[in-house]
């Protein structure tokens, strides 16, 4: 206090304090004149749903006033839908007029038009005359998610933790039946697939970001994974930019089913090629045969499904590589190959089992360790997290990569350059998908 004991010194102190206040408020101002947004972030949580498979659920804020909304993600779905009816309250809900260019853009190359159906209350959400109709589907239950196309405000966070909003984000207003088999409190599906109004297209267009998204799913229901829109760096604790460890292969769009496919060339187990002469041809996605074959990637199925002949070749080599000391035991549903796990050691990368490598076009290799290839299905019983395609399965792909294989891996879809990047297990890079933190909490 020595400096302020005299009056003139007191005045000097006052000036010093004042200039301090002014300079900090200037600093605050300049940081709030925001730098351009480069990357958006959505937290994603695994949710158990009985009796169906686990779902990966995101949370956004939507409407005026803003309300938190949960949506199940579907990597393969084209158009996002949300249940809405008279309980949907928002002063910014706006149905899309049939004559709006947005209608044909969303439904490219068609335009669908409809009036409020009989029995509906005119001019309530989902029920307007002369509005654009769009189509979608809940592929967990097979129920349609179609209805009136509308826009409303959506708020999400940018990578530094700041909330940013899109005033005209489009959804289909769907019937309550569209929610069948979705997890508790989920109000629709977030579509990431091939469409002009899927999440990646809408979010990247709204902020002029590069048309890319990356998905990093956490295996735990207690910790969030993360989805990024836009370019890296994607930094996970303790300061690792996982966008630097991506290996790229071509992304093929299957326009028959409007879904993402990859070109798998071979499978290796512990470095050795799995013999493939009997089924090699199935790995090529065939435009001429209605889009059959090939390898697709999605989040609705938990375990990677393979045509039975591909599956049995993989199992033969896997069992050989695992060795005689690990006996097979009776299968636990839904798995097709299970082992007594008492003799299987544990490692940082999960159960210590033979490494499975998926070798894609451009020699891009996705290395799969125990954390993604084995499931503890019962006490002392561990099963291979790949299953054989069952009769009646609707997919036309020869292999369908499911959610369990994606966990604690970063997968980037670079839509402008038609390529997919994958990191292989982040556990081998001393991080995991639950390690994202906003760079500063605004």
Ligand X SMILES: *[C@@H]1O[C@H](CO)[C@@H](O)[C@H](O)[C@H]1NC(C)=O
Give contact residues for ligand X (rule: CB under 6 A).
Answer: 74, 76-77, 97, 99, 105, 108, 130, 137, 139, 142, 194-196, 257, 259, 298, 300, 329, 340, 342, 380-381, 394
CB-count exposure of residue 97 (10 Å: 0-12, 13-18, 19+): middle
Task: Give Cα 89 distance to the centre of its chain.
Answer: 28
Q: Can you read off the two tokens belonging to residue 129? A: 């005359």
Residues in the chain: 442
As a whole number of angstroms, the distance between CA 425 and CA 366 comes to 9
Q: Are 95 and 106 in contact (CB under 8 A)?
A: no
Closest CA to 147 of 123, 127, 114, 174: 174
Rounded least distance, CB 379 to ligand X, Å: 7
CB of 192 to ligand X, least distance (A): 10
**DSSP SS3 for 272:** strand
When the beta carbons of 168 and 220 are compared against ligand X, the nearer one is 168
Identify which of residues 54 and 74 has a Cβ nearer to ligand X in the complex: 74
Structural Rg of the chain based on CA atoms: 25
Name the minimum Å distance from CB 220 to ligand X. Answer: 25
Residue 120 or residue 233: which is nearer to ligand X going by CB? 120
Between 123 and 440, CB nearer to ligand X: 123
Residue with tokens 């369990």: 404
Residue nearest to ligand X (CB): 76
Closer residue to ligand X (CB): 63 or 143: 143
d(CA 410, CA 350): 17
Please identify, using beta-carbon distances, which residue of 195 and 424 lies nearer to ligand X: 195
Contacts of 197 (CB under 8 A, 6+ apart): 79, 80, 105, 106, 134, 170, 191
């Amino acid at each position: 206090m020595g400096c302020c004991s005299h009056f003139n010194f007191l005045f000097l102190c006052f000036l010093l304090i004042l200039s301090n206040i002014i300079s900090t408020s200037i600093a605050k101002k300049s940081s709030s004149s925001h730098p351009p947004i480069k990357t958006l972030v959505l937290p994603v949580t695994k949710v158990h749903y009985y009796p169906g498979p686990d779902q990966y659920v995101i949370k956004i804020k939507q409407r005026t006033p803003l309300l938190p909304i949960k949506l199940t993600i579907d990597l393969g779905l084209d158009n996002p839908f949300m249940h809405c009816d008279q309980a949907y309250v928002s002063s910014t809900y706006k149905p899309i007029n049939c004559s709006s260019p947005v209608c044909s853009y969303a439904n490219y190359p068609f335009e669908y038009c409809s009036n409020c159906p009989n029995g509906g209350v005119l001019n309530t959400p989902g029920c307007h005359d002369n509005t654009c109709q769009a189509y979608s589907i809940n592929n967990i239950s097979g129920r349609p998610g179609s209805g009136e196309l509308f826009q409303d405000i959506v708020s999400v966070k940018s990578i530094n933790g700041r909330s940013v909003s899109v005033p005209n984000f489009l959804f289909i207003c769907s019937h309550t039946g569209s929610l069948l088999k979705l997890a508790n409190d989920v109000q629709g599906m977030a579509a990431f697939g091939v469409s002009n109004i899927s999440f990646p297209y809408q979010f990247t267009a709204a902020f002029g970001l590069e048309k890319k998204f990356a998905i990093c799913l956490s295996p735990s229901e207690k910790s969030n994974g993360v989805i990024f829109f836009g370019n890296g760096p994607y930094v996970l604790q303790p300061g690792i930019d996982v966008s630097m460890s991506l290996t790229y292969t071509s992304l093929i769009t299957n326009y028959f089913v409007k879904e993402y496919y990859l070109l798998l060339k071979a499978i290796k187990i512990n470095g050795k090629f799995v013999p493939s002469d009997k089924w090699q041809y199935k790995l090529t996605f065939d435009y001429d045969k209605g889009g059959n074959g090939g390898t697709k990637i999605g989040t609705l199925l938990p375990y990677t499904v393979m045509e039975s002949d591909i599956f049995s070749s993989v199992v033969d080599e896997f069992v050989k590589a695992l060795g005689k000391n690990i006996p097979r035991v009776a299968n636990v549903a839904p798995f097709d190959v299970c082992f007594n796990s008492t003799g299987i050691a544990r490692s940082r990368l999960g159960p210590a089992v033979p490494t499975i490598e998926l070798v894609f076009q451009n020699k891009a290799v996705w290395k799969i360790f125990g954390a993604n290839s084995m499931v503890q299905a019962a006490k002392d019983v561990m099963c291979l997290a790949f299953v054989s395609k069952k009769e009646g399965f609707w997919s036309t792909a020869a292999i369908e990569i499911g959610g369990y294989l994606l966990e604690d891996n970063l997968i980037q879809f670079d839509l402008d350059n038609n390529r997919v990047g994958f990191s292989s297990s982040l556990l081998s890079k001393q991080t995991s998908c639950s390690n994202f933190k906003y760079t500063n909490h605004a």
